[in-house]
Amino acid sequence: MDLLLRGIGELATPLGQGARGGAAQGEILTLRNAYVLVRDGRIAKVGEGTPPPFSGEVLDCEGRLVTPGLVDPHTHAVFAGKRVQEFLARAWGERYTGGGILTTVSATRSASEEELVRLAKPRLMAMLAQGVTTVEIKSGYGLTLQDELKMLRAIRRLGEELPLTLVPTFLGAHAFPPELPREKYIQILVEEMIPKVAASGLAKFCDVFCDRGFYTVEEARRILVAARNFGLGIKIHADELSQAGGAELAGELSAVSAEHLLHVSAAGIRALARAGTVAVLLPGTAFVLDEPYPPARKLIEAGVPVALGTDFNPGSCPLASLPFVLSLAVLKLKMSPEEVLTAATLNAAAALGLAQELGTLEPGKRADLVVWKAETFAEIPYWMGQNLVWAVLKGGQAVVAPKA
Ligand SMILES: [Zn+2]
> Cα of 173 to ligand 1 centre, how many Å?
11
DSSP 16: S
Average pLDDT, the chain: 96
Q: What is the pLDDT of residue 95?
A: 64
Identity of the amino acid at 55: S
For range 353-375, the mean pLDDT: 98
What is the rounded distance in angstroms from the CA atom of residue 69 to the CA atom of residue 346? 10
pLDDT digits (tens, 9 = 90+) for 46-60: 999 999 999 899 999
Helix, coil or strand: residue 68? strand
* Residues near 2 by beta carbon (within 8 Å), at least 6 away in sequence: 37, 38, 39, 40, 44, 54, 55, 56, 57
What is the rounded distance in angstroms from the CA atom of residue 77 to the CA atom of residue 124? 8
Dihedrals phi, psi of 273, to nearest 5 degrees:
-65, -45
pLDDT digits (tens, 9 = 90+) for 267-286: 999 999 999 999 999 999 99
Q: What is the pLDDT of residue 404?
A: 59
> Cα of 262 to ligand 1 centre, how many Å?
13
Residue 352 predicted with pLDDT over 60: yes
For range 223-251, the mean pLDDT: 96
Indicate the pLDDT class of residue 90, thresholds 50, 70 and 90: confident
Q: What is the pLDDT of residue 89?
A: 87
Residue 98 predicted with pLDDT over 80: no
Helix (H) or strand (E) holding 70: strand 70-72
> Cα of 76 to ligand 1 centre, how many Å?
6
Indicate the pLDDT class of residue 94, thresholds 50, 70 and 90: confident
CATH number attached to the domain at 2-68+360-400: 2.30.40.10
DSSP 24: G
Dihedrals phi, psi of 42, to nearest 5 degrees:
-125, 160
> Cα of 172 to ligand 1 centre, how many Å?
12
What is the rounded distance in angstroms from the CA atom of residue 392 to the CA atom of residue 368? 8
Q: What is the DSSP string of 326-391?
A: HHHHHHTS---HHHHHHHTTHHHHHHTT-TTTSSS--TTSB--EEEESSSSTTHHHHSTT---EEE
Helix, coil or strand: residue 148? helix
Q: What is the pLDDT of residue 96?
A: 52
Indicate the pLDDT class of residue 103, thresholds 50, 70 and 90: very high
Contact predicate 278/256, CB 8 Å? yes
Pairing of strands 165-173, 132-138: parallel
Length of the chain: 404
Distances (CA, A) of 399 to 21, 26, 60, 369, 402: 31, 29, 16, 10, 9
For range 157-185, the mean pLDDT: 97
> Cα of 18 to ligand 1 centre, how many Å?
23
Residue 41 predicted with pLDDT over 90: yes
Residue 87 predicted with pLDDT over 80: yes
Residue 323 predicted with pLDDT over 90: yes
What is the rounded distance in angstroms from the CA atom of residue 182 to the CA atom of residue 205? 23
Check if 2-68+360-400 and 70-351 are the same fold. no
What is the rounded distance in angstroms from the CA atom of residue 308 to the CA atom of residue 296? 10
> Cα of 312 to ligand 1 centre, how many Å?
8
> Cα of 346 to ligand 1 centre, how many Å?
20
Closest CA to 304 of 19, 21, 4: 21
What is the rounded distance in angstroms from the CA atom of residue 259 to the CA atom of residue 268? 12
pLDDT digits (tens, 9 = 90+) for 107-157: 999 999 999 999 999 999 999 999 999 999 999 999 999 999 999 999 999
**CATH classification (class only), 70-351:** alpha beta
Domain boundaries, the chain: 2-68+360-400, 70-351
Identity of the amino acid at 155: I
Residue 370 predicted with pLDDT over 80: yes
Residue 395 predicted with pLDDT over 60: yes
Q: What is the DSSP string of 191-257?
A: IIIHHHHHHHT--SEEEEEESTTSB-HHHHHHHHHHHHHTT-EEEEEESSSS--SHHHHHHHTT-SE
Indicate the pLDDT class of residue 345, thresholds 50, 70 and 90: very high
Is the Cα dihedral 268, 259, 211, 318 positive or negative?
positive
> Cα of 2 to ligand 1 centre, how many Å?
39
Q: What is the pLDDT of residue 97?
A: 57
What is the rounded distance in angstroms from the CA atom of residue 389 to the CA atom of residue 371? 6
For range 19-44, the mean pLDDT: 98
> Cα of 321 to ligand 1 centre, how many Å?
15
Q: What is the pLDDT of residue 298?
A: 98
> Cα of 158 to ligand 1 centre, how many Å?
19
Identity of the amino acid at 269: I
For range 179-206, the mean pLDDT: 98
pTM of the model: 0.97
Residue 99 predicted with pLDDT over 70: no
